[in-house]
């Protein structure tokens, strides 16, 4: 099979977050955006004009058959993901699928089974682990700066969930989601926790709805036990904020405790280390680009997939791997509903 030198990328979707994907694709030299698909022509035409995309479609399957892209970027709501992914799988076209992967665990499980049966390549667009501060923290943990790991804690405080206009400026559909905090947001941190601490043994969750104008939960605490014996705490509240120049940069603050000391991540993406027994904190210097969303994590993810397809580098967050995150999110809802801890290993979720 001939090794590709560049990638023809086709896209579907023009929603709020898609601007970051299109911007990132335009900055990857090995990529040519060849086609865009959307239910309505006008927003697709605007993006096509901006990024010199020659072909515009309203029929996704027709686009795949006529353009025959090397990669598809699915940037649409979860309810559309199953048919779009299936169309790519049937044609053996690799795809990146926006998260949430599917509306339910059953749909995700069925879709992963189809992907595996066809030996297809589907990567989930879970970009938080590609934020540069988490990449740096992963490097520090690999260097054993904390020794034995005790606990990871993250406080989500974006401050965008208050009042009758909550979420309306960016993602108004948040107000009507039956499941919000975990399904839409905490799943990012479930993935980050697994990236940094490994797979999850069990989950206990207590979820709340604080803003009465929305349907789903907007606050909650989730406790994780990891297979390595350490613990995790996700403390989420979308109504409260945190100290930061840009409260959407890290969207909260993280603390990681170990035998040798404690790492801190603040809202300005500054990382510091306090060694065990010391009172002074050491600032950890690292470089990152303050571009678009989350330290240019969208670009980092898309670059990661391009490097895999063109240069055979290892890839993270395939659909099969990401199913563990969907299972953990579902376990959090089940725990909240039944008021007890859920063991993921007994549910067959151990990787």
Domain coordinates of the chain in residue numbers? Answer: 7-125+299-317, 129-286+325-343
Kindly give, in sequence order, each residue whose CB lies less than 8 Å from that of residue 142, ignoring residues fewer than 6 positions away: none
What pLDDT shows up at residue 61? Answer: 98
What pLDDT shows up at residue 185? Answer: 95
- pLDDT band of 349, cuts 50, 70, 90: very low
Among 2-6, 102-106, 161-165, which stretch is predicted with the lowest mean pLDDT?
A: 2-6
User: What are the φ and ψ backbone dihedral angles of 56, each rounded to 5 degrees?
Assistant: -120, 135
What pLDDT shows up at residue 345? Answer: 74
Q: In what order do the strands lie in the sheet with 122-125?
A: 55-57, 31-37, 7-12, 71-74, 95-98, 122-125
C-alpha distances in angstroms, 137 versus 195, 274, 284? 10, 14, 10
User: What are the φ and ψ backbone dihedral angles of 304, each rounded to 5 degrees?
Assistant: -60, -45
DSSP state string for 230-245: -EEEEEEESSS--S-S
Give CATH for domain 7-125+299-317: 3.40.50.720
Average pLDDT over all residues of the chain: 96
Over residues 260-277, mean pLDDT: 98
pLDDT tens by residue, 113-145: 999 999 999 999 999 999 999 999 999 999 999
What pLDDT shows up at residue 2? Answer: 53
Let me know if 20 is exposed, middle or buried by CB neighbors in 10 A (0-12, 13-18, 19+).
buried
Q: Given a cut of 60, is residue 347 above it in pLDDT?
A: no
What pLDDT shows up at residue 170? Answer: 86
Predicted structure pTM score? 0.94
The number of angstroms, rounded, from the C-alpha of 49 to the middle of its chain's C-alpha atoms is: 28
- The fold for domain 129-286+325-343 equals Dihydrodipicolinate Reductase; domain 2 (3.30.360)
pLDDT tens by residue, 164-215: 999 999 889 999 999 999 999 999 999 999 999 999 999 999 999 999 999 9
Kindly give, in sequence order, each residue whose CB lies less than 8 Å from that of residue 282, ignoring residues fewer than 6 positions away: 272, 273, 274, 275
With b for 16 or more beta-carbon neighbours within 10 A and e for fewer, the 116-140 pattern comes to eeeebbbbbbbbbbbbbbbbbbeeb
With b for 16 or more beta-carbon neighbours within 10 A and e for fewer, the 77-99 pattern comes to ebebbbebbebbbeeebbbbbbb
């Amino acid at each position: 099979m001939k090794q590709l030198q560049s990638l023809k990328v086709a896209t579907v979707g023009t929603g709020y977050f898609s601007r970051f994907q299109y911007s990132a694709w335009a900055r990857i030299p090995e990529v040519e955006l060849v086609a865009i698909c959307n239910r309505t022509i006008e927003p697709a035409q605007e993006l096509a004009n901006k990024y010199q995309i020659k072909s515009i479609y309203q029929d996704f399957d027709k686009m795949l058959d006529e353009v025959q892209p090397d990669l598809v970027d699915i940037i649409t709501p979860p309810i559309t993901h199953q048919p779009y992914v299936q169309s790519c799988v049937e044609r053996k076209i690799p795809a990146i699928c926006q998260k949430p992967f599917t509306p339910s665990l059953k749909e995700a499980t069925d879709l992963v089974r189809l992907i595996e049966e066809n030996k297809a390549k589907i990567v989930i667009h879970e970009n938080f682990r590609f934020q540069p501060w988490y990449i740096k923290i992963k490097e520090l943990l690999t260097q054993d700066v904390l020794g034995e790991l005790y606990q990871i804690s993250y406080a989500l405080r974006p401050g965008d969930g208050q009042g009758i206009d909550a979420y309306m400026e960016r993602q108004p559909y948040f107000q009507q989601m039956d499941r919000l905090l975990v399904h839409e947001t905490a799943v990012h941190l479930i993935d980050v926790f697994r990236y940094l601490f490994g797979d999850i043994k069990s989950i206990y969750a207590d979820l709340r709805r604080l803003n009465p104008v929305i349907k789903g939960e907007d606050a909650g605490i989730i406790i994780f036990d990891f297979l390595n014996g350490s613990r995790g705490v996700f403390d989420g509240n979308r109504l409260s904020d945190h100290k930061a120049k840009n409260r959407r940069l890290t969207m909260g603050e993280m603390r990681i405790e170990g035998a040798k000391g404690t790492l801190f991540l603040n809202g300005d993406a500054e990382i510091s280390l306090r060694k065990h027994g010391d009172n002074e904190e050491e600032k950890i210097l690292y470089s990152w680009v303050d571009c678009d969303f989350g330290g240019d994590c969208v670009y980092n993810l898309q670059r990661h997939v391009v490097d895999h397809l063109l240069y055979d580098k290892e890839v993270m967050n395939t659909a099969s791997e990401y199913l563990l995150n969907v299972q953990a999110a579902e376990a959090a809802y089940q725990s909240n509903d039944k008021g007890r801890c859920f063991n993921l290993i007994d549910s067959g979720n151990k990787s």
